[in-house]
Amino acid sequence: MTRLQPGQPAPEIRLLDQDQNAFQLSSLRGRTVLIYFYPKADTPGCTTQSRALQDALPELEARGVTVVGISPDEPEKLRAFADKYGLTFRLLSDPDHEVAEQWGTWGEKKMYGRSYMGIIRSMFLVDPEGNLQGVWYKISPKKTVPTALKALDQS
């Protein structure tokens, strides 16, 4: 698995969102974008992480940041997740994990003694020029927002 590094151009993302609308990362040039990859909608860690980002959304948006979440879930499941928890940012569907592989967030995981392939919870900040400003692999759901705010304070 290739890991991305700060300073590299962010790989393009073309996926459907929770409303089956096409999303393209390059359409957000000129804005800072916080992208987080999470394993599965409506599970404890992913819900904690997503709700924390929703709670911080006014502050993030005031700083010119657009939040985008990506998981292997189908758009219908993402819509149900967004509705259940009042998530107002875009959730993207990557069922074939093609984008996750390009971003280095698809890899081997271990749980209860077994190995399997899945999303490695990660967060990225993409600067207005489309380059990676910050890269965090294996980020804790509870540390996502504080880490993002600290990185934005330092930029």
Residues with catalytic roles: 46
Cβ distance 70 to 38 under 8 Å? Answer: yes
Number of Cβ atoms within 10 Å of the Cβ of 110 = 8
Where would I find the beta strands (DSSP E) of 21-155? 22-24, 32-37, 65-71, 90-93, 106-111, 114-119, 122-126, 132-137
Q: Is 72 helix (H, G, I), strand (E, B) or coil?
A: coil
Give the separation between CA 110 and CA 26, rounded to whole angstroms: 34
Residue with tokens 């993207």: 92
Tokens of 15: 């996926």
Place of tokens 């359409």: 27
Give the H or E element holding residue 58: helix 44-62
